[in-house]
Amino acid sequence: MSSGSPLPPPDYQGGDYRDDKKRRLPGGHAGESSSCRLLLDGDLEYMLAELTVDEDIIPGGNSGDCRKDRKRKSNQDNASDDLLENMLSSLVIKDNAATSSASRRSGKDASVLVLDDSILDEGNSDCTTSTVCGASDSWSLRSEEFIERVKDLLLSHKGTGVEVFEVHFGLDSAHAAHLDKWVQFASESGAQCVIINLRKKGISSSGDLVVKSRYNFPLHCFVGGQRSSIRKLRLINCIFRPTLHCSGFSSLVRLYLNNVTIADSDVQNICSCCTILRILRLGRCDDLVNLMISHEILIYLDIFRCKKLVSIEIHATSLAFFEYDGHEVHIKYASTPKMRQIVTKFGDVNTSLPKDFNAMEWIKKVTLTFLSPSEEYRYIIYLKKFTALQFVNLFILPSWNNALAVTYLLKATPYLKRLRIEACSKEHHYVDRSHTNWPEGISLDKLRTITIGGFAAQAPLVALLACLMGVATHLKYLQIDPHHHLCKMLGKWVREDVGDKAARDDARNAALATIVPKLPPTVKLVIK
């Protein structure tokens, strides 16, 4: 299999995922809307596959359709990144909409089967136990009641046509015998999506007691004569220890592990066994230390809040999107020639472009943080130009040194089209200066749009904007927003409606007083 041209998963048909959404029966139970999320993720996976394949089939030699191909490639290059971001944003919006809808009970032939605490509140014919749901405050009794109701529900189910199987309840290793049977049911039913969320509501899953009693996900349920149909696996508060030659997950396309006990070697086994894996997310996996990702067709990698992590080394020739959020670690992009977008958030530590950045010929967008309050000179003078970068997102704590760091970064990205700066809401960490020596030789002729969030007329930020007005000769649009924003999935910014309204009004008035006089007449100013 060519690393640059990943094939779709076995038995894949282009319309399957849309048909999944149409086949969702009226009797299906929405649960926590994760089934809706995973079906939408199917569309995401399909689009990612289309993106990668389209890039690779663009011919480089002589062809009668070469002109059309070049035009198509140009349109794709301009739209693919924004299209992906819009789809990921829509996933969050649709998730929230689904969560707010009324929950519905699973029918016997439902393609989506969700087992959560709502079945304790439903006195329906599928649950034959005589115990009153929620009558006791004892968690052990509630767990026993939940297990009994699940047992009755699965016994009444035909066991076929289950495409999405979910468990959302705070169980642990003490309930392994029951959980194993449920996972076995999902496997024998041919479920394509399996979610095991054993986090107890309202209780942190990071304690030692919880870690020691985590449920060990049964690999043997997906090993047998018939190859497993599972394509998406989501585990929360479990143990996952795949072996090197585990064949049960060869059809896996998406894997999401959150608060899961897993070691560095287990991740390497995953990369070896899951040969068509496209999307991998590892969150709060605290046993990871020196993580190495080696995979030929992985497209999206997200790693966040792994407490003991020291280093990440990536060998992924098809990887297009990488995101890291957590404490400072060493990240080595050993082989990532198809990288499109990088998001690195090192807590309160300033970040910079990676040393092996020039090997990423497709890179277009980065999200970096400049959050150190130190007044020491820590910005890097880049000796090379990064001509592929077109979009830069920066989350900064306004200070004179951070403002200077931004200008040196922009000097190294002369083909930048869009710049976003989000000012941190912490106290201002700078001393007033009447003059700053900005670097010379900055050329931003391609820059068309600047967006500023968290604007409070911070002196370094106002001075930085004045500097940019002088070098961005073809700037068309400047947006200033006093609201603060959070950086979400793939660098998307989501507004926070927090803070003092009067302070935001003052910031708007300050923008009119400090920015408008410096603004060229050709630039459109929008103040949110």
Q: What is the rounded CA–CA span in Å between residue 243 and residue 218? A: 12
105 within some domain: no
Quick one: DSSP state of residue 466? Answer: H
Position 356 in a domain = yes
In a domain? residue 522: yes
Burial class (CB in 10 A: 0-12, 13-18, 19+), 436: middle
Alpha-carbon distance of 336 to 357, in angstroms, equals 9
Residue 459: inside a domain, yes or no? yes
Asked if residue 503 is part of any domain, the answer here is: yes
pTM for the model stands at 0.77
Domain interval for residue 519: 344-528
Please, which residues bridge with residue 394 across strands? 368, 421
How many C-beta neighbours within 10 Å does residue 243 have?
A: 14
Strands 330-335 and 493-496: unpaired
Residue 335 in domain: no
At a CB cut-off of 8 Å and minimum separation 6, what does 350 contact?
369, 370, 371, 372, 378, 379, 402, 405
pLDDT tens across the length of the chain (528 residues): 333 333 333 333 333 333 333 333 223 333 334 444 444 454 455 445 545 433 432 223 443 444 444 444 444 444 444 555 554 444 433 433 333 322 333 444 458 899 998 888 765 434 333 333 343 347 778 888 999 999 988 888 776 778 999 999 999 999 999 999 999 999 888 899 999 999 887 665 555 455 668 999 998 888 764 557 889 999 999 999 998 877 778 899 999 999 999 999 999 999 999 999 999 999 999 999 999 999 999 999 999 999 999 999 999 999 999 999 999 999 999 999 999 999 998 887 888 888 778 788 899 999 998 888 766 655 667 778 888 999 999 998 888 888 888 999 999 999 999 999 999 866 655 566 657 788 888 999 999 999 999 998 888 899 999 999 989 999 999 999 999 888 777 667 788 877 788 888 998 999 999 898 889 999 999 999
Token pair of 525, please?
Answer: 């100013």
Which residues, listed in sequence order, are joined to residue 84 by a DSSP beta bridge?
A: none
Is there a domain that residue 332 lies in? no
Total domain count for the chain?
1
* Whether the Cβ atoms of residue 293 and residue 317 lie closer than 8 Å to each other: no
Q: Indicate whether 494 belongs to any domain.
A: yes
- Give the containing element (helix H, strand E) for 292: strand 290-294
Residue 514 to residues 190, 287, 424, 506, 518, Cα–Cα distance (Å): 63, 50, 20, 12, 7
Show the tokens assigned to 221. Answer: 């349920």
The residues near 386 (Cβ < 8 Å, ≥ 6 apart) are: 353, 357, 358, 363, 412, 413
3-state secondary structure of 156: helix
